[in-house]
């Protein structure tokens, strides 16, 4: 087992000696605004946002009191993450160099953030991460915003631009892929092989610009496009797999529409989002392109009340239409036209923004294709399962010791599969069952 196992255990054990109450997502935001982490995050620490947190992001990360020492500091934060992973049945081979086929403790990553106001109406969330499992330094999630507000038809009107490195990084709701549940998961376990393009295939390796508006705190509209970074740029920021990595041909249009409304302590949101992309496999135009059209719908309900008892439900559904002309010519798929469907939902209860119980369900289904999914016995992408998680967030409220400088989150998660890569039993032809990939995951996440 790697020496990082000891580092991970040290991180977890050191963090556990503190007896402070609550936490945040990025500490520099709390210092800048003078608002405790629990004002913007339902769990006081973690990606899940409250209406105030969404409004802060919408307005370009620039809100500031400007009246004390903390708000005038540079918006810099840092994060370290450690974990332990156990599978019901060990993997056929180690998930990464230096790790075991099961029972892996690890120091997963360390990140440095520039998160907050840059100048006037310009703000940024930029994450630079050292990925210890892959031993690389990489540019992680990035969202740079220019935003302003005025009046339109007598109502508040916010408008802006986002420059980001992946579809849905800039999204305000925790229903679209980048910030959806589960908020953390193991990198040292098996995961299903099929997912839609918008669910991470373009993350970090593409750049986009979108224009957005929110009218009357009710109607949200956004549109823009993405293009692949050059291979040289990707190598420079630690994200290129090879010079022949797939690329977007031209630009990939992205759009988002949402309606939201709050009645007392009840918050409701429904929306839709989409992406259309032509992908050149291996950057070789000889056989043309593969065409992907992703259409998603999502919904979000939060009961916030006084913050003592918080109930939430989130769901999203994505349909992807694939026209795989290049793949057919390469012999990668038997069908030119395929479809893929992805469903995610979760319900949660949070007490005092400190203790949370999460229950999630996920399902991926799609077309039968003996070449595209030839690595499994069913020749289908179908996977299904449940995720149960307990969270403990001991820092982050306004009365927390060392607030807003220190934030911590523990998560104990169990992912159970009823179907994996096409089948419940013997999905890969070697006798491995879907339940063999059931994973117990303990995660410690420290931000300062």
Please tell me which residue, 27 or 89, carries the higher pLDDT value.
89
**Helix or strand or coil: residue 408?**
strand
Do 212 and 159 contact (CB within 8 A), yes or no?
A: yes
- Of 402, 442, 351, 358, the C-alpha closest to 23 is 402
Residue 199 above 70 pLDDT?
A: yes
Q: Is 69 exposed, middle or buried (CB count within 10 Å of its CB: 0-12, 13-18, 19+)?
A: exposed
The arithmetic mean of pLDDT across residues 371-386, rounded, is 96
The pTM assigned to this predicted structure is 0.91
pLDDT score of 404: 64
What band does 10 get if pLDDT is binned at 50, 70 and 90? Answer: very low
Tally the C-alpha atoms within 13 A of residue 181's C-alpha that lie toward its C-beta.
Answer: 31
Where are the extended beta strands (E) located within 165-289? 206-215, 219-228, 247-248, 252-263, 266-280
Q: How many residues does the chain have?
A: 448
Give the contacts of 154 (CB within 8 A, at least 6 positions apart). Answer: none
Do 104 and 188 contact (CB within 8 A), yes or no?
A: yes
Residue 244 above 90 pLDDT?
A: no
CB atoms within 10 A of CB 165: 25
- Of 59, 75, 66, the C-alpha closest to 34 is 66
pLDDT score of 99: 97
Q: Per mean pLDDT, which range of 73-87, 242-256, 325-339, 341-355 is the poorest?
A: 242-256
Tokens of 273: 């989002």
- Rounded to whole angstroms, the Cα distance separating 192 from 175 reads 20
Q: How far, in whole angstroms, is CA 24 from its chain's centroid?
A: 16
Residue 186 above 80 pLDDT?
A: yes
Supply φ then ψ for residue 55, to 5 degrees: -65, -35
152 to 157, 158, 182, 210, 262: CA distances (angstroms):
6, 9, 37, 21, 20
Domains of the chain listed by start with CATH number: 4-447 (2.40.160.10)
Tokens of 41: 């995050």
Give the contacts of 17 (CB within 8 A, at least 6 positions apart). Answer: none
Tally the C-alpha atoms within 13 A of residue 412's C-alpha that lie toward its C-beta.
Answer: 5
Our CA angle for 4, 5, 9, nearest 5°, is: 115
């Amino acid at each position: 087992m790697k020496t990082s196992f000891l580092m991970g255990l040290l991180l977890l054990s050191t963090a556990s000696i503190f007896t402070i109450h609550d936490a945040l997502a990025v500490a520099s935001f709390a210092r800048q605004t003078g608002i405790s982490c629990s004002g913007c995050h339902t769990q006081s620490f973690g990606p899940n946002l409250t209406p105030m947190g969404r409004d802060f992001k919408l307005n370009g990360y620039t809100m500031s009191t400007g009246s004390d020492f903390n708000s005038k500091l540079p918006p810099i934060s840092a994060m370290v993450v450690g974990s332990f992973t156990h599978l019901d049945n060990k993997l056929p081979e180690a998930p990464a160099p230096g790790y075991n086929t099961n029972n892996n403790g690890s120091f997963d990553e360390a990140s440095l953030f520039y998160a907050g106001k840059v100048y006037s109406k310009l703000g940024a969330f930029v994450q630079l991460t050292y990925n210890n499992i892959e031993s690389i330094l990489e540019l992680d999630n990035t969202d740079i915003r220019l935003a302003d507000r005025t009046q339109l038809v007598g109502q508040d009107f916010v408008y802006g631009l986002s420059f980001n490195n992946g579809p849905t990084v800039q999204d305000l709701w925790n229903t679209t892929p980048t910030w959806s549940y589960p908020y953390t998961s193991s990198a040292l376990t098996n995961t299903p092989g099929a997912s839609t393009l918008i669910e991470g295939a373009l993350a970090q390796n593409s750049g986009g610009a979108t224009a957005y508006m929110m009218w009357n705190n009710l109607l949200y509209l956004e549109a823009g496009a993405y293009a692949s970074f050059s291979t040289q740029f990707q190598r420079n920021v630690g994200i290129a797999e090879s010079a022949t990595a797939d690329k977007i041909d031209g630009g990939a249009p992205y759009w988002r529409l949402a309606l939201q409304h709050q009645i007392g302590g009840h918050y409701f949101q429904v929306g839709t989002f989409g992406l259309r992309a032509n992908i050149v496999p291996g950057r070789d135009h000889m056989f043309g392109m593969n065409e992907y059209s992703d259409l998603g719908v999502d919904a979000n309900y939060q009961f916030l009340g006084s913050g003592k008892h918080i109930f939430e439900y989130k769901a999203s559904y994505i349909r992807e239409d694939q026209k795989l002309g290049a793949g057919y010519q390469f012999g990668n798929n038997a069908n030119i036209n395929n479809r893929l469907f992805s469903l995610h939902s979760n319900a949660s209860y949070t007490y005092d923004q400190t203790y949370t119980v999460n229950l999630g369900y996920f399902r991926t289904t799609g077309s039968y294709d003996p070449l595209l999914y030839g690595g499994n016995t069913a020749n289908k992408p179908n996977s299904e399962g449940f995720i149960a998680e307990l969270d403990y967030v001991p820092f982050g409220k306004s009365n927390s010791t060392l607030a807003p400088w220190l934030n911590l989150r523990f998560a104990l998660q169990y992912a159970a599969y009823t179907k994996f890569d096409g089948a419940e039993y013997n999905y890969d032809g070697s006798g491995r069952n879907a339940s063999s990939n059931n994973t117990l995951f303990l995660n410690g996440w420290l931000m300062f």
